[in-house]
Chains A and B, each alone.
Chain A
Amino acid sequence: MSAPMEKVCVPGQRICRHDEKVVSGNGTYTRSGFVYASLAGYLTTKSDKDQVIIEVKTDTELNIVPTVDAVVTTRVTNVNPRFCKCSILSVGGITLKEPFRGLIRKEDVRATEKDKVEMYKCFRPGDIVVARVVSFSSEYRRHNSSFLRKSNFLTI
């Protein structure tokens, strides 16, 4: 409706000089003392207690991949006495275009009484689980820990 007021920027465009007050947010990177854009979209600035966060907003959703310590929302696909396989649907609040695969091991379900966990009783295929990524295994499956105190079970 109203015309966008912000400036269009393209990858590689130099935005401003990098100093303590400026923080490079999504869609930007710093190099040799300057902040550059890395996506094509609109430049937005957010001031947050004295610091300015510079971000590039695109119309499409941000591309993101699950990293260690990210909070992800997954759906359980397979249940096994030792672990259950799940597919990661979104990272943070951002839905992924394509699901990644993850693994919740028996030991990571809860903090106490780890060996007395019975997987079948904890999860069933189709459950939605909010988890935190713990590590990446060598076989490239993320190990999630559903070790979250707050409502871990959401059966939909």
Chain B
Amino acid sequence: MAGLELLSDQGFRIDGRRPHELRKIQCRLGVFNQADGSAYIEQGNTKVLAAVYGPHEIRGSRSKVLHDKVLVNCQYSMATFSTGERKRRPRGDRKSQEMTMHLQQTFDAAIQTSLYPRSQIDIFVEVLQSDGGNYCASVNASTLALIDAGIALRDYVCACSSSFVNDTPLTDINYLEESSGSPEIIAATLPKSEQIVFLEMNGRLHEDNLSRVTDMAVKGCKDIHDILDQVVRDHVSEVSTVHGWEN
């Protein structure tokens, strides 16, 4: 695999996408019955499952009680079979802990926490297959699961990653592009108001290029939002038809 060309002269990436194109997204809400809300998303070859429980009474230590807000508790874990080589620790390693913290911070900002004081919402994310963009898929899946659970949100949270290769920003990078050493920016935004909730950068990027790459990521979030929106609307209409809902 000598010298993999991330962006060919004709403007195609390794998998045949153009720089601004997202991977194929497929998602479903309400995959489990036992959880209060659940969702499954596939972004390219990255497959993530999210389950939401709550809001319920705080378990475990009483010291974490927030008298005016809900406690968002996340757990991120990667299945041992999710990567090319079998992982030995599904959770508890540093990467997972970092991800957990990021997810927590992200959803703290999106959920209307004042509606559920002294309670706890659990978000469990499980990565079944990892091919780049784990955080983004986790965020997208959690958003859907939260909507499915009926928890009040200010807005969707959509996340997208972008990179900078050969003077061109790329959107939604996969594992090969991630590990090639080019800089990576991951942004999670509230698409309607275009507010950035979470921004992470890996690698080195010259500041002249920062705004271009970030804009690309935010645009990617908007595109993902459109897709998720459609899925949610379809789900709502479908479910209520089943329930014979009338009003």
The residue among A1, A12, A39, A100 with the most chain B CB atoms within 10 A of its own CB is: A12
Closest chain-B Cβ to A148's Cβ sits at a distance in Å of 23
**Count of B interface residues, CB-CB < 8 Å:** 43
- Once the chains bind, are A12 and B155 in contact (CB under 8 Å)? yes
- Once the chains bind, are B112 and A57 in contact (CB under 8 Å)? no
Among candidates A4, A40, A136, A140, residue contacting B232 with C-beta atoms closer than 8 Å:
A40
A58 part of interface (Cβ distance < 8 Å) = yes
Closest chain-B Cβ to A141's Cβ sits at a distance in Å of 9
Q: Give per-residue flags for B148-181: 1 if the beta carbon is below 8 A from chain A beta carbons, else 0.
A: 1111111110000000000000000000000000
Contacts of A38 in B (CB 8 A): 112, 152-154
B17 part of interface (Cβ distance < 8 Å) = no
Chain B binder among A59-67, A76-84, A123-131: A59-67
Chain A residue nearest in CB terms to B121: A63
A18 part of interface (Cβ distance < 8 Å) = no
- Once the chains bind, are B58 and A4 in contact (CB under 8 Å)? no
Q: Which of A112-145 contact B (CB under 8 A)?
A: 136, 139-140
- Once the chains bind, are A1 and B232 in contact (CB under 8 Å)? no
Question: How far apart sit A138 and B246, CA to CA, in the bound complex (Å)?
Answer: 44
B243 part of interface (Cβ distance < 8 Å) = yes
B183 part of interface (Cβ distance < 8 Å) = no
B147 part of interface (Cβ distance < 8 Å) = yes
Closest chain-A Cβ to B59's Cβ sits at a distance in Å of 10
Contacts of B58 in A (CB 8 A): 140
Known: A99-B57, A136-B118. 14 other contacts (CB 8 A): A1-B246, A4-B241, A4-B246, A10-B147, A10-B156, A11-B152, A39-B147, A59-B236, A59-B239, A63-B54, A65-B119, A97-B36, A98-B56, A100-B57
Contact residues of B with A, CB < 8 Å? 36, 54-58, 62, 65, 67, 70, 112, 115-119, 147-156, 190-192, 229, 232-233, 235-237, 239-241, 243-247
Contact residues of A with B, CB < 8 Å? 1-6, 8, 10-14, 27, 29, 31, 36, 38-42, 44, 57-63, 65, 67, 96-101, 136, 139-140
The 9 listed contacts between A and B (C-beta, < 8 Å) are A4-B237, A4-B245, A6-B247, A10-B156, A11-B153, A11-B156, A12-B155, A29-B154, A41-B236
